[in-house]
Amino acid sequence: MRLRLVPSETNINFFRFAGLTFGASVVAVIASIILFLTMGLNFGIDFRGGTTIRTESVQSIDVGAYREAIDALDLGDISITEVFDPTFRDDQNVAQIRIEAQPGEESASTETILAVEQALQQVDPSITFPAVESVGPKVSGELIQAAILAVTGALVAIVIYIWLRFEWQFSVGAVAALIHDVAITIGLFSLLQIKFDLAIIAALLTIVGYSINDTVVVFDRTRENLRKYKTMPLVEVLNLSANETLSRTLMTSTTTLLALLALLFLGGDVIRGFVFAITWGVVVGTYSSIYVAKNVVLMLGVKRDWSGTDKPKGNKFADIDA
């Protein structure tokens, strides 16, 4: 007996409020862009520059105690992570502390670093500081450019893949859904001023992968049904395909969210921003695969007959079943 989150005979009309849902998505994307341009993002140390201090101690590292000691110095954004390595000795406990660049400085000053060291020595007298490194504005700027290229490259590669696998209309629908997901996620981070660092870039790429996977499942079933029901109106074919894949969509989203919510509430501050971004991305990705991608395909229309003698011109790979 298989578990189904929705009955097999489910027939939800996803296009009943197509104008409202698609219009809301357009408004949300525009609002996100405005928020990004006006409020900006709360960039972390990776993008703003700062100083990294490596510590070693024979005592176990208490991240909470470290953070409490440094917070008293009012240095702004502080990141503390414990470093694990199988080559470390049993009594070698290593942590990495990152401090954002102070106003008017490219990195933390000697006085600031000394104050941090003294504060940590109050917590753990055995602590040592084997390395101090700074990330200047130039490196931070290069990281921002690399992050933009990574996200843009992922979107371009996905567009090419969808175009080869399906029709160009599906490719446009898929990229519209991806832009929707990424833009709204960035807008939410801008609105809430959640720290935006390289971990969030990784989360955005994960969102792109998750969203396109869900979209491809719906599109693949749509292509099958377009061949099977040659006279059925396109809107009904899209509805049928969404309903047939709804159980799979909800099952995947629900199981993913269960793991993410556990990490969100129990994973700690270090990964909370990353997990929050992916959690939000799973929700909007599931929404966009149904209410954004399919709406775009419906507006553009699709060639109904892909049989051997009438293949789409200029797209000889459209019928590849890979």
pLDDT string in tens for the chain (322-residue length): 555 666 667 778 888 888 888 899 999 999 999 999 999 888 777 777 778 888 898 888 888 888 888 888 888 778 888 887 777 888 888 888 888 776 666 566 778 888 888 899 888 888 888 888 776 655 566 777 877 887 788 778 877 877 777 778 888 888 888 889 989 999 999 998 888 887 888 888 888 888 888 888 888 888 888 888 888 888 888 888 888 888 888 888 888 899 888 888 887 666 788 889 999 988 998 888 888 888 888 888 876 655 544 444 444 444 444 3
Q: In the numeric block, which tokens belong to residue 63?
A: 């991240």
The upper half-sphere exposure of residue 8, i.e. CA atoms within 13 Å in the direction of its Cβ, equals: 2
Angle between helices 168-192 and 269-291 (to 10 degrees): 140
What's residue 37's pLDDT? 92
Q: Are 107 and 101 in contact (CB under 8 A)?
A: yes
For tokens 């200029």, what's the residue?
Answer: 314
d(CA 188, CA 204): 13
d(CA 290, CA 210): 14
Helix, strand or coil for residue 320? Answer: coil
- Strands (E) located in the chain: 42-43, 50-57, 78-83, 93-100, 128-135, 195-196
C-alpha pair distances (Å), 208 with each of 37, 150, 283: 22, 11, 12
Q: Which residues, including other chains, have CB under 8 Å from residue 30's CB and lie 6 or more apart?
A: none
At 212, the amino acid letter reads: I
The pTM of the full predicted model, rounded to 2 decimals, is: 0.71
The segment(s) of the chain belonging to CATH 3.30.70.3220 are: 50-135
Distance of CA 89 to the CA centre of its chain: 36
d(CA 138, CA 247): 49
Helix, strand or coil for residue 234? Answer: helix
Task: Give the Cα-Cα-Cα angle 295, 300, 303 (nearest 5 degrees).
Answer: 115
The segment(s) of the chain belonging to CATH 1.20.1640.10 are: 18-42+140-300
**In CATH, 50-135 is 3.30.70.3220:** yes
What's residue 85's pLDDT? 74
Q: Are 204 and 185 in contact (CB under 8 A)?
A: yes
Rg of the chain taking only CA atoms, in angstroms: 25
Going by DSSP bridges, is the β-strand pair 50-57/42-43 parallel, antiparallel, or unpaired?
unpaired
Fold of 18-42+140-300: Multidrug efflux transporter AcrB transmembrane fold (1.20.1640)
Q: Which residues, including other chains, have CB under 8 Å from residue 143's CB and lie 6 or more apart?
A: 46, 47, 198
At 312, the amino acid letter reads: P
